[in-house]
Structure 1
Amino acid sequence: MLFISALVALYWRLPGQWRPWLLAAGGTVLLAHDSWIGLGAWAALLLWVALMCGPQWQRKTLMRAVGLGGVLLMFGAYQLGKASHGLIAWLGYAFVSLKAWHLIAEHGSGPLRDGRAASSLAYLLFPPTLAVGPVQRYESFRLELLRARWDGAIASQALQRLLYGYVKVVLLAGYLLNHKLDTLALATGHPWLDTYLPLLGYGLNLYWQFSGYCDIAIGFAALLGMRVPENFNFPFSAGNLQEFWRRWHITVSEWCRDFVFRPILSRTRQYMLASLASMVVLGLWHELSPRYLAWGLFHGAGLVVVHLWGKHMPWAAALRTNALWRGFSWLLTLQFVILSFALTSTPNLAAAWRCLATLFAPLIPGS
């Protein structure tokens, strides 16, 4: 809170041309406070982006491929280090990798060559979204930076949004769910409930924590006169799995759609392959491990089933207008998502399998 107050106050005291540099400096302060090693890793990635986006390269397509390959290698090394427990997670590194990909893939040598070094650096180091997103496109960020004006009504709404975020993180997740309810890890004496309730608690904790931090980021950015995209839109109310992924972690889901799903679909015309590849990439972006690979395949297969159902079942469209079916579809989607938490909340696939076996035991005759 002290950091937000100090940065906002200084931001509005500076001339417009100096504000991007202040934002970059603010992000650097956060990184240095988190870890000097993490700051060094960020510096390496930023220098690589500068090398790819700065000079006027003759062979733009080749250099774009080299640039993206470098980002992928650095992010892969980071994920391998995390998977082997050789390092702790560096603040925001997963998100800056997506932003670096945006800059190189969409703009090539444009941003730095055209005198946009300050806005590009502020984009990569933007303090409100540095830790957990949302992930914004560079051009959208640059326009927001140019249009930034102080507005008392917007500032009031921003403070409300900050309050909502802190209520989610501190009150709902931190105090109510984790402290008072022990993340629903309650000893009911019933094996099925003792397995299911912690998965539900894990999902609620993940949603309240993550969406709460995104509320804080959105409110913080609004105090700087800038809009950033929404990242959550009541995902647990989704009526099917496709809708869930349009509501959950929206900006990263859109990144996967634009940079993985659509290119694969346009080249192969295979929806199944594009969906599976997108969700595998999304899973491994979270963590380079068998359990997140399985999670990606699980959700990818679910998206394929939903797509095939809507495309090949003649009564699917009629069912969507039926209130009873919509309620059943919502419940089925929610249970599918909760089941997927068995893969990410457990330490390995063996533990996840035991968890799922307990949940499905009532459906197996003789179990």
Structure 2
Amino acid sequence: MLGGFPYWLVLGLGTLWASFVPARWRETGLALLAFALVVNHDPVAAGIYLAATLAVWTLVRRGGGYLTAALTITALAAGLLASKIAEQYGNGSWASPLGISYLVFRLIQVVVDARRKAWQRSPELMEFLHFLFTPALFVAGPLERWGHWETPAEGASGTRIATGIWRIVIGLLKKIYVADLILPAIANHTGWTVPEAMGAHPGAAAVWQSCAYSYLKIYAEFSGYSDIAVGAALLWGRRPMENFNWPVIASTPADFWRRWHISIAQWCSSCVYLPVMGLMRSVWIPMLASFIVMGLWHGLGWNRVAWACWQVAGLLVFITWQKRLGRPKPGTWRTGRGWKLASIAFTQTFVVASYVFMLHGETVPVRDSLGLLLRMFGWPP
């Protein structure tokens, strides 16, 4: 759906509608255009999505029915899980329906925020449909929250549209040129090992190069999609949250997760970390639960659990280090430029190493990924 002719046609029609139609009809038209695009791609899935969305909206608006709304989302999530299992471990003929993971996670956030009374006002039906099915966010996020989405974008219409088009252009350049052309060309010219060319028994340099290549390629692609999402939403009069903030200059593991895929990090904090923290009264268990959910959202496999353990281990080391040393005092070595650059290098090395769990797909045995991790640090030689 993203990038096809129907997508750009609907986006253009919605831009005209948002710019020239009176405000009282605006949300209705945008909601219908957004849902028509989903129907065009998959009518059956669209009908299921609409039924679940209407059920959640009705129950939440009543100010009660949170349990029933949660059960409705659970049923939708069960379908997501079944489709992902069939896609990864079956014959590959049943793919996960378009946009279902983003829809499920955003509906969960809706119920959580409604239960916590985190909204200034509840959405009207057409606003809610626009919010959930907008082509800006439906396929590739970010995981926008209603409390942020409900405020229209500021500024004149012409400025907003120009900014939106510019963000879309930037996103397309990242995806088409950086991810698909420039990075492969650099790898081919320099002999940089890519995951597809890594042999059965690679050396440490080959594994590091493959992980770094995956990291940079995914960053270019995903941040490009996020730029397109922000630009598309601006064309329709909304400004969603940013999903990336230069994670390649993060100086600690915690700083990295404030910069990388920001929306899912905040979602896990709100919907996983805080509830589990309230039950367990510990740090590492809710942290591990959050990263496991985050990992399994991207793909089902034990490698994602291993990836979650790696992330938690790095964060716990950082937290322990920070507690022992305390806040850095002005003028000390910990506030100097050298330490800042070293911190960025350490953090990026830690992040690059985590991609060893994603080099060859979700169904590869964890022991193979751990073997590659050992090779990265020189053992076995």
Using structure 2 for the length normalisation, give the TM-score. 0.83
The answer to whether the 8 A contact 1:280-1:300 is kept is no
**1:226 lines up with 2:226 in the alignment:** no
Distance 2:130 2:15 in 1: 15
Distance 2:160 2:225 in 1: 19
Letter in 1 for 2:341: G
The aligned residue for residue 146 of structure 2 is: 138
**1:252 lines up with 2:228 in the alignment:** no
Distance 2:150 2:198 in 1: 53
1:94-133 per-residue CA deviation (whole Å, 9 max, x = no partner) reads 111122112222225999x967111111111122111111
The alignment partner of 2:241 has SS state of coil
1:174 corresponds, among 164, 180, 193, to 180
The aligned residue for residue 85 of structure 2 is: 83
- Residue 219 and residue 102 in structure 1: after superposition, are their counterparts in 2 closer, same or farther (change >3 A)? same
The aligned residue for residue 25 of structure 1 is: 32
The aligned residue for residue 208 of structure 1 is: 220
Distance 1:320 1:88 in 2: 50
Q: CA deviation at 1:171?
A: 0.8
Letter in 2 for 1:141: W
The answer to whether the 8 A contact 1:83-1:289 is kept is no
The answer to whether the 8 A contact 1:237-1:330 is kept is yes
- Residue 184 and residue 7 in structure 1: after superposition, are their counterparts in 2 closer, same or farther (change >3 A)? farther
Alignment of 1:184-203 (within 5 A): 184-185=192-193, 191-203=203-215
The aligned residue for residue 11 of structure 1 is: 18
Q: CA deviation at 1:291?
A: 1.4
Using structure 1 for the length normalisation, give the TM-score. 0.86
Distance 1:46 1:22 in 2: 18
- Residue 354 and residue 27 in structure 1: after superposition, are their counterparts in 2 closer, same or farther (change >3 A)? farther
Distance 2:226 2:107 in 1: 20
Letter in 2 for 1:152: G
Between the aligned residues of both structures, percent identity stands at 25
The answer to whether the 8 A contact 1:184-1:200 is kept is no
The aligned residue for residue 53 of structure 2 is: 46
The alignment partner of 2:141 has SS state of coil
Distance 1:21 1:185 in 2: 51
**1:358 lines up with 2:375 in the alignment:** yes
Q: CA deviation at 1:170?
A: 0.8
1:128-162 per-residue CA deviation (whole Å, 9 max, x = no partner) reads 11111122221222222xx6774322322222211
Aligned length: 356
Distance 1:297 1:109 in 2: 30
The alignment partner of 1:143 has SS state of coil
Q: CA deviation at 1:272?
A: 1.6
User: Could you list the runs of 5+ residues in structure 2 that have no partner in the other structure?
Assistant: 1-7
The answer to whether the 8 A contact 2:70-2:108 is kept is yes
Give the CA RMSD over aligned residues.
2.9
User: Could you list the runs of 5+ residues in structure 1 that have no partner in the other structure?
Assistant: none
Q: CA deviation at 1:72?
A: 3.3
1:271 corresponds, among 279, 283, 297, to 283
Q: CA deviation at 1:164?
A: 0.8
Distance 1:280 1:243 in 2: 19
- Residue 143 and residue 302 in structure 1: after superposition, are their counterparts in 2 closer, same or farther (change >3 A)? same
Q: CA deviation at 1:202?
A: 1.0
Distance 1:94 1:232 in 2: 19
The aligned residue for residue 118 of structure 1 is: 126
- Residue 272 and residue 46 in structure 1: after superposition, are their counterparts in 2 closer, same or farther (change >3 A)? same
